[in-house]
Amino acid sequence: MSDPAMKRFVSRLAAVAAAVEQRLDALLSESAPSSAGAAEWPKRLRAAMRHAVLGGGKRLRPLLLVETARLFGRTDAGPLIAGCALECLHCYSLVHDDLPAMDDDDLRRGRPTVHKAFDEATAILAGDALLTLAFETMAREEVDPDPARRLALVASLARAAGACGMVGGQMLDLEAETRLPGLPEAEIRRMQAMKTGALLAFAVEAGGLLGGASPDEREALSRYGRALGAAFQIGDDVLDVEATAATLGKATGKDVAKGKATLIGALGLDRAKAERDRLAHEAGEALVGFGQGADLLRSAARFTSERRS
């Protein structure tokens, strides 16, 4: 990789991922403080939660949250803790998405999925526990001393993750598998904005909230987050077609086999790639008012279109 900007991005992504991994390890350890008493967690449940969260993942969502907050001068641990809460919620969604009733995947990040490593009932409960842990963590005073900000974060995360966001998008995705003819392009975009884009956009908006961004700045960040989320989902769809299971760490070629609604199906592979790249550029353009301080976020937008895993 010869591009200095992308080198800096990859290095920063690795550093944030390591910091997130360390904090998540502590959050899910037997000695972690918890309102319910961490020592009371059933051992099998804790093991399944740790299997779901630790030992892999790009940690892109925490990076976006941390770096957006950093753009406005927040360099304390609060944004990192908020990023860990977001990652718990993201990992819960992966555990449930992998279940036989959903995408029925055996591999995730190169390892057996939680329902394969344990069992389906344990996987469901581990996902439930990670979801609730996400909100408990986001509400902690260490995230921000202002309770109104923490309340806003929790409410915004609930919207991004719920029926109008990620969960609703997953429902639309499942319905599309049996719909003939397939979804039109506009409905595919709406579904993907909910299923994938909502949490990525939340990461950026949460960073702005923690950093004290102005309303105009938060609107620009929201435009960035929405475009980046859309580009990221198309990138995922392209990887499902072009990548190998060894590179991706999970099965590939499943979208076509299951009749998934994707922009590749609606536009064709080449036009979908062009749209991915256009959206990544649009995301970068949304940051024009932030100067060089937003260079890493611009690189994150490029990463969504250039990544190979």
How far is the C-alpha of 292 from the C-alpha of 118, rounded, in Å? 47
How buried is residue 282: exposed, middle or buried, by Cβ count under 10 Å (0-12/13-18/19+)? Answer: middle
With contact defined as beta carbons under 8 Å apart, do 130 and 92 qualify?
yes
What sections of the chain are H helices per DSSP?
A: 4-27, 43-53, 60-71, 78-97, 114-117, 120-138, 147-161, 166-176, 185-192, 198-211, 215-242, 245-248, 254-257, 263-267, 269-285, 295-306
Read out DSSP for 259-297? Answer: T---HHHHH-HHHHHHHHHHHHHHHHHTTGGGGGGGHHH
Domains and CATH numbers, the chain: 4-306 (1.10.600.10)
| Confidence (pLDDT) at 308 | 75
How far is the C-alpha of 210 from the C-alpha of 109, rounded, in Å? 30
| Confidence (pLDDT) at 232 | 94
With contact defined as beta carbons under 8 Å apart, do 230 and 262 qualify?
no
Q: Which residue has the tokens 């409905």?
A: 187
Please give the chain's pLDDT, 309 residues, in tens.
Answer: 568 889 999 999 999 999 999 999 999 997 665 555 545 899 999 999 999 999 888 999 999 999 999 999 999 999 999 999 999 999 999 999 999 999 999 999 889 999 999 999 999 999 999 999 999 999 999 999 999 999 999 999 999 999 999 999 999 999 888 876 678 899 999 999 999 999 999 999 999 999 999 999 999 999 999 999 999 999 988 998 886 665 656 565 566 667 678 999 889 999 999 999 999 999 999 999 999 999 999 999 999 888 876
| Confidence (pLDDT) at 254 | 67
For the chain, give the number of residues: 309
The CA dihedral of 231, 196, 102, 266, to the nearest 10 degrees, is -40
| Confidence (pLDDT) at 176 | 87
